[in-house]
Amino acid sequence: MSSIRIRAKAKGGITTVKALITHPMETGLRKNKKTGKKIPAHFIQEVVAKHNGAVAMTAQWGPAVSKNPYLAFQIAGGKAGDTIELSWVDNTGKSDSVTAKVK
């Protein structure tokens, strides 16, 4: 199962993309209440969106982004049937990606 839920809709020459990413987004500063030890940093560092294979947006994130981040953006152009690919890489080297068709 993917960690990304995505929707893309075209209207009036603008494609609106909305995505919800399931990720703990730990800063590395919080402590485990039971053990008192710090929880290791674990956060998404880069998010890349591609429209029909061409990079449309790149975001550099850090530990200040909240748990399970929501992302919304618009792309000029696009029509029903186009593909939107969204991928992320975190500071531990894990990654995920998903592809959706524009409606």
Domains of the chain, residue spans: 4-101
Of all residues in the chain, what percent carry a pLDDT higher than 90? 96
For residue 2, pLDDT beyond 90 = no
Residue 55: which residues within 8 A CB-CB, separation 6 or more?
48, 49
pLDDT, tens only, 49-88: 999 999 999 999 999 999 999 999 999 988 999 999 999 9
pTM of the full structure = 0.91
Buried b or exposed e, range 41-50, using 16+ CB within 10 angstroms: bbbbbebebb
pLDDT reported for residue 88: 98
The highest-level CATH class for domain 4-101 is: mainly beta
